[in-house]
Amino acid sequence: MVRLHFFLENNMSRSRKLMLSSLLAATGFAAHAQAPAPALSSGTLVIVPAYGEVKHANDQVRITFNVEEQDKDKAAAASRVNLKMKQGTDILKRQDPQAILQTRGYYTYPVYPEDQPQPRGSANKPRQPTGWRVGQYLDATTTNLNNLPKTVAAVQSVLGLNGLYFGLSDATSKKLDDQRIAATYQNLTERIASIARAMGRKESDAVIDTVDFEGSGNYAQEAAAPKAMMMRAASMSDAAPVEEPSFEPGETTLNMRVVGKVRFK
């Protein structure tokens, strides 16, 4: 009977200790979980950055064509360039009458041999060119993307294709501006609501003091003018029909940034 009494008393002590430890642990956890957030003084000012973006399929392309000729006779090289540029421009106008055209970058460079022996006593004399390289660029901007492969292939029979740059037309960019502003402001209000909840305050306690829209002119930098082609362009007798190339316009993302100053009541 004594042993049984001791056994029961010992088990009860262990159970009490276990229950007491569990109770203390639970109490400590609850106290930690319910620790109040730091109090905010009335009129606390919070700076909130926000971002917004909209995407749209590209509806405009800028095409750059070029022509280059090389000849011992500078006038002969320039004449071929002028003729090809005129022919290429005429083809482009027929294929896409609505395209906006601009010629630029007319250049004339002397060509020197890589290893030209210099006679004795002529170290200070300038080298004599053995030929001339003449070229010019033609830019075309159009929204007629459906006819783009056919247009490019037709012009490539005379001029070289130097590059294509897809983007958004001015009209489309203006239409998307309202959506971009709305998306940015919505992100600002969502962030303000999240910050209010994190601070243990009501969303209605937040009053927007200042809204500073920035970055509304995030335009891609214009690509630098391509350097003159070093290879000789094909002569008119070498011109042949060109198979139509394939293009994927892709899409453009317009971004906007806003910084809001929010004051809590």
| Residue among 31, 34, 95 nearest 65 (CA) | 95
pLDDT in tens, 155-207: 999 999 999 999 999 999 888 988 988 898 898 888 888 888 888 888 888 88
pLDDT in tens, 185-194: 898 888 888 8
Q: How many CB atoms lie within 10 A of CB 184?
A: 23
Please enumerate, as own/partner, the contacts of 218-221 that have beta carbons within 8 Å and a separation of 24 or more: 218/254, 218/255, 218/256, 220/167
Residue-level pLDDT at 21? 59
Residue-level pLDDT at 122? 57
Residue-level pLDDT at 236? 38
Residue-level pLDDT at 217? 38
Residue-level pLDDT at 118? 60
**Hey, what domains does the chain have and what are their CATH numbers?**
45-55+173-216+258-264 (no CATH), 60-112+128-167 (3.30.70.2970)
Residue-level pLDDT at 220? 32
Residue-level pLDDT at 15? 55
Per-residue pLDDT of the chain (265 residues; tens, 9 = 90+): 544 444 444 555 555 555 555 555 555 544 444 555 555 556 778 888 888 889 999 999 999 999 999 999 999 999 999 999 999 999 999 999 999 999 999 999 999 887 555 666 555 677 788 899 999 999 999 999 999 999 999 999 999 999 999 999 999 988 898 898 889 889 888 888 888 888 888 888 888 888 888 644 333 333 333 333 333 333 334 455 777 777 778 888 888 888 888 888 8
Residue-level pLDDT at 75? 94
Residue-level pLDDT at 4? 43
What DSSP assignment string belongs to 32-71? HHTPPPPPPPTT-EEEEEEEEEEEEE--EEEEEEEEEEEE
Residue-level pLDDT at 38? 57
CA 86/CA 92 separation, integer angstroms: 10
pLDDT in tens, 62-86: 999 999 999 999 999 999 999 999 9
CA 223/CA 227 separation, integer angstroms: 12
